[in-house]
Homo-oligomer: A and B are copies of this chain.
Amino acid sequence: MDKIKRNERIAAMMHAFITRPGHYLSLNEFTERFGAAKSSVSEDISLLRRVLEDFGLGTLHTIVGAAGGVKYVPAAEGEPVDAFLDELGETLLDPARILPGGFLYMTDILCRPDAVSRIGDILAGRFREKEPDFVVTVETKGIPVAMMTARALDCPLVIARRDVKSMEGSVITINYVSASSRSMQAMSLPKRAMPPGKRALMVDDFMKGGGTANGVRQLMAEFGASLVGVGVLIATDFPQEKKVQEYTSLFTLYGVDEAREHVELHRTGKKSG
């Protein structure tokens, strides 16, 4: 291929970074692919970083040295993220979402690729410093957002199942008490899903009593893994005492009033009035 012009390099490099967030790409890969000097590629990266930061889209993170490289870190805060979360919060307040029993229908949001991609980027940002090796979730509704969080962190997803499927080989099953219904539940993970000594981040769509998260902690212990964080889209305000001590939620649900057709939900830490 002929020598690539600067604009073309810029375009191709942006594509490479955005297509695989969180993944380190080496400068050598770019210099070879584009037949460009290292100094030129470094300048390109500075420009890309500036554009990402100026538009609130994220940044490029550099590790220097032989094993070094550059990775794209999607924005997890700032103006566009705030605007997205505010709009999402508005959507969740729609009384048409109220289900019998005071539940909130949100499956539609959890299945919109553009929405879950952004939620995943934001949750990833809250836990990047914990350096998780895996994202773990329990089937079913939380899988898309957990997948997108794993994507933003460039680490694999692990899905615990509620029923034991023979098609995945030997499994480890734990029993745990559901905090809300006080009933016994089980979750399983194939033995080969996770080598020992790993750091796991749990991601789910919703948390009430934290029983599921506590179950995941037990399950991770069985795999010799440590649970380094719990991140959910929505946590209920009640009960205040959850079965896990530390967790992060993007929204807090204060109540669903079926009779008055009213949902009270705020961005976590931003309840006003």
Check A107 against B193 for contact (C-beta < 8 Å): yes
**For the complex, is A117 an interface residue (Cβ under 8 Å from B)?**
yes
Check A117 against B167 for contact (C-beta < 8 Å): no
**For the complex, is A52 an interface residue (Cβ under 8 Å from B)?**
yes
Given contacts A111-B158, A112-B156, contact A8 B140 (CB under 8 A): no
Proximity string of chain A (113-128) to chain B, C-beta cutoff 8 Å, 1 when within and 0 when not:
1101100000000000
How many residues of chain A get a CB closer than 8 Å to chain B's CBs? 57
A140 to chain B, nearest CB (A): 5
| Identical copies of this chain, number | 2
- Rounded to whole angstroms, the CA-CA distance of A101 and B170 in the bound complex is 12
Contacts of A158 in B (CB 8 A): 111
**Majority secondary structure, A binding face:** helix
A270 to chain B, nearest CB (A): 26
Contacts of A193 in B (CB 8 A): 107-108
- Rounded to whole angstroms, the CA-CA distance of A117 and B23 in the bound complex is 14
Given contacts A8-B47, A156-B111, contact A167 B18 (CB under 8 A): no
- Rounded to whole angstroms, the CA-CA distance of A167 and B99 in the bound complex is 7
Q: Residues on A close to B: CB < 8 A? A: 1, 6-8, 10-12, 14-15, 18-20, 23, 47-48, 50-52, 54-55, 57, 99-101, 103, 105, 107-108, 111-114, 116-117, 139-141, 143-144, 147-148, 150-151, 154-159, 161, 166-169, 190, 192-193
- Rounded to whole angstroms, the CA-CA distance of A179 and B240 in the bound complex is 48
Q: Which of B7, B14, B57, B159 contacts A6 (CB 8 A)?
A: B7
Residue of B nearest to A118 (CB): B19
Residue of B nearest to A157 (CB): B111
- Smallest CB-CB A-B distances: 10 pairs: A113-B151, A14-B14, A111-B157, A18-B18, A11-B51, A103-B167, A99-B169, A139-B140, A143-B143, A144-B147
Given contacts A12-B55, A108-B156, A157-B144, contact A150 B19 (CB under 8 A): no
Most interface-central of A100, A150, A155, A167 (chain B CB within 10 A): A167
